[in-house]
Amino acid sequence: MHEMSLVQALLAQLTTLAAEHDKKRVITVTLDIGPLSGVVIDSFQFGFDILSAETSLTKGAKLIIINPPATYQCIRCGHRQSAAVRPDHCPECNETLLIPEGGDAIILNQVEME
Amino acid sequence: MCDSCGCDLTDNHSHKTDSRVIEVHQSLLAANDAIAAENRAHFEAMGVVAINMISSPGSGKTTLLEKTIERLKGKIRIGVIEGDIETDRDAQRIRAKGVPVVQMTTGGACHLDAAQIHKGLHLLEKEPGGDQLDLLFIENVGNLVCPATFDLGEHQRVVLVSVPEGPDKPAKYPKAFISSQIFVITKTDLLPYFDFPVAEAKADALHLNPRLQVMALSATSGEGFEAWIEYLQEVTENKGSGVQAGGRKEGTYP
């Protein structure tokens, strides 16, 4: 359940941002959580619901999570494909060994505050 | 896209005059990764190669370390940072082998993070011989899920699965295998008693990460142990040059 640690890191960033921009309340938070990030999105949402309710800054804030695809490169022919779920093989040469690239990001993109 | 402000938010989206959308584009792991980079620089200044060991509880990490220390005694100076939720039992086992060790207890957290390693490293340097090391093992909290997300500043990441756990761990816990350089199958002396097709486990792991180097060994019988020792000698001789940084790939986000 390391999602709790990540939610704590998010709330720390929101607190810093609110102070920097002289804002009192977070309305929406938009994050990218990649399919290879090792984060269970439901657990992250659960942690956010609990911890965000503890301070007036984040109480009632809405969390928007975008799950961008990862890229898989074929070890034999080098063909790249984008996919949310790991593909079984390369569509060009049928090779099954594909090297994942990216898809492991956990990025805070935008915060709407007032 | 929102027509009012041009942002990506589509619903429940307020446009009160005093609200503002701030573009951040920063990783939630940025704070951890910054400390991990400091740790890496610290390891390099010490001339030590750091290896992060990740597995389920009971896969034999501590036993493998005990046998490794015995085997490399007088050849490679080894130190250990132990991570556990509670107790210093693992550190006691390692200390009995006569090498510098510190125990980090997370008090409930399911993984080590870079800040704990920063602290552990300073404590280790105060142990006799702790500032004169060639190789540092970081034994992570027994957990195949959460530790995979946190870069500790290690040079190499090793994921371990023991024969009694079954061969389907790579398929079920992909992140640990994608982010590691070495996959060690342990307790191979138990292969006659368990249904563990080694070839299948290897193929599953390579399917996830074709660059993974796979080893199978028994710390008890010594079978397959030489490949592990050769690997450790090789990374230690390279002193960090040419070895890959563990953890998340840098620069995967623009």
Which CATH number covers residue A31?
A: 3.30.2320.50
Domain extent at residue B46: 36-238
Instruction: Count structural domains, chain B.
Output: 1
Give B243's DSSP letter. Answer: P
Could you tell me which residues come within 8 angstroms of residue B8 by beta carbon, excluding any fewer than 6 positions away? Answer: A30, A66, A109, A110, B1, B2
Q: In chain B, which residues have their Cβ closer than 8 Å to the Cβ of A6?
A: 28-29, 149
| Strands lying side by side in the sheet with A80-83 | A80-83, A70-74, A98-101
- Quick check: A57 and A18 in contact, CB under 8 A? yes
Q: In chain A, which residues have their Cβ closer than 8 Å to the Cβ of B29?
A: 6, 9, 106
- Quick check: B247 and B117 in contact, CB under 8 A? no
Residue holding tokens 């938070």? A29
Of B12, B25, B252, nearest to A104 by CB-CB distance is B252
Q: B1 touching A, CB under 8 A?
A: no
Structural domain includes residue B5:
no
Structural domain includes residue B215:
yes
- Whether B178 sits inside 8 A of A36 (CB atoms) is yes
Structural domain includes residue A91:
no
**Cα B63 from chain centroid (whole Å):** 17
Structural domain includes residue A27:
yes
Task: Please give the structure tokens belonging to residue B187.
Answer: 């307790």
Task: Using pLDDT thresholds of 50, 70 and 90, give the confidence band for residue A112.
Answer: very high
Of B14, B19, B253, nearest to A105 by CB-CB distance is B253
Of B19, B24, B211, nearest to A108 by CB-CB distance is B24
pLDDT digits over B161-178, tens only? 999 999 999 988 999 999
Structural domain includes residue A75:
no
Whether the pLDDT of residue A45 is over 60: the answer is: yes
Structural domain includes residue A61:
yes
- Quick check: B159 and B176 in contact, CB under 8 A? yes
Structural domain includes residue A108:
yes
Domain extent at residue A16: 3-69+102-113
Q: What percent of chain A has pLDDT above 90?
A: 78
Instruction: Count structural domains, chain A.
Output: 1
Structural domain includes residue A77:
no
Q: Each residue's pLDDT tens digit in chain B (254 positions)?
A: 565 566 666 666 655 557 899 999 999 999 899 999 999 999 999 999 999 999 999 999 999 999 999 999 999 999 999 999 989 999 999 999 999 999 999 888 889 999 999 999 999 999 999 999 999 999 999 999 999 999 999 999 999 999 999 999 998 899 999 999 999 999 999 999 999 999 999 999 999 999 999 999 999 999 999 999 999 999 999 865 444 444 333 322 22
Task: Using pLDDT thresholds of 50, 70 and 90, give the confidence band for residue A79.
Answer: very high
